């Protein structure tokens, strides 16, 4: 479970988050939507225990992101918008590198790498160098790295940015597969259309404030209304 209570975050020049509160149950795929600069990335980094808020709490499966960051890091996989990969490494080598960075020394590294590559759908091009891959393939490598430690929570910041329609569809299918194995997923975007195929609920953020948190299970057409209400991109 993800529990966020009265979260406030400030940069020197502005308040990025103001009294943000919500709760996400296990197994949900949550769309975090809002205009560019609304505070989505700051919120994701706070949930991942990578940025410390000035006040409020983030609890991940009972662990406090501010006081127990190591425990939260073990629970969370995070793929940021502009993630980096080593172009001269193969996909296999890239995931092996992350495995040795994230896993305990007594772990079965080969098994963990094989599982992450298969779950991310990168097996068919595991021997290719990252520099030769398409944007969609690179996204799968990034996800394989993010889930190498089998996190309970997966956070993706603008994962469909720059993907063509076919790659976006493949990403949707992948996220549903990860949900089926028990991951709780938050996907941020300013483009609603790319989230509707797989999201079970939606968090709307604007100017650092939570505007709405609703289920999408009974109302997949919600994007038209929200696009009019808060004015972000609808494709």
Domains, the chain: 2-82+151-230 (3.40.50.300)
pLDDT at 235 over 70: no
Helices 91-102/135-146 angle, 10° precision: 20
Residue 215 confidence (pLDDT) = 86
Quick one: what percent of the chain has pLDDT higher than 70? 91
- What's the pLDDT score for residue 164? 85
- How big is the chain by its Cα radius of gyration, in Å? 17
Give the chain's mean pLDDT. 90
**Per-residue pLDDT tens for 113-154?**
999 999 999 999 999 999 999 999 999 999 999 999 999 999
Main-chain dihedrals φ then ψ at residue 107, nearest 5 degrees: -75, 160
In this predicted structure, the answer to whether residue 24 has a pLDDT above a threshold of 50 is yes
pLDDT of residue 228: 42
- Comparing 69-78, 109-118, 164-173, 210-219, the range with the smallest average pLDDT is 210-219
CB within 8 Å of 199: residues ≥ 6 apart: 29, 30, 31, 187, 216
Q: What is the pLDDT of residue 54?
A: 96
174: left (phi over 0), alpha (psi -120 to 50) or beta: alpha
Question: Is 221's pLDDT higher than 50?
Answer: no
């Amino acid at each position: 479970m993800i529990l966020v209570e009265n979260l406030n975050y400030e940069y020197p020049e502005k308040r990025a988050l103001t009294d943000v509160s919500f709760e996400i149950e296990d197994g949900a795929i949550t769309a975090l939507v809002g205009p560019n600069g609304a505070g989505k990335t700051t919120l994701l980094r706070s949930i991942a225990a990578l940025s410390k808020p000035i006040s409020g709490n983030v609890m991940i499966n009972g662990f406090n992101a501010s006081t127990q960051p190591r425990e939260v890091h073990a629970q969370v996989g995070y793929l940021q918008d502009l993630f980096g990969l080593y172009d001269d490494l193969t996909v296999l080598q890239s995931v092996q590198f992350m495995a040795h960075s994230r896993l305990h020394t007594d772990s079965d590294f080969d098994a963990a790498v094989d599982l992450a590559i298969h779950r991310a759908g990168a097996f068919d091009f595991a021997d290719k160098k990252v520099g030769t891959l398409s944007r969609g393939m690179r996204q799968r490598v990034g996800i394989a790295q993010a889930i190498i430690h089998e996190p309970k929570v997966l956070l993706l910041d603008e994962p469909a940015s720059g993907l063509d329609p076919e790659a976006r569809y493949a990403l949707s299918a992948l996220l549903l597969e990860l949900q089926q194995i028990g991951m709780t997923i938050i996907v941020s975007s300013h483009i609603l259309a790319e989230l509707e195929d797989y999201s079970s609920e939606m968090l709307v953020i604007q100017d650092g404030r939570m505007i709405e948190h609703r289920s999408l299970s009974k109302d997949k057409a919600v994007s038209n209304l929200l696009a009019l209400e808060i004015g972000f991109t609808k494709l």
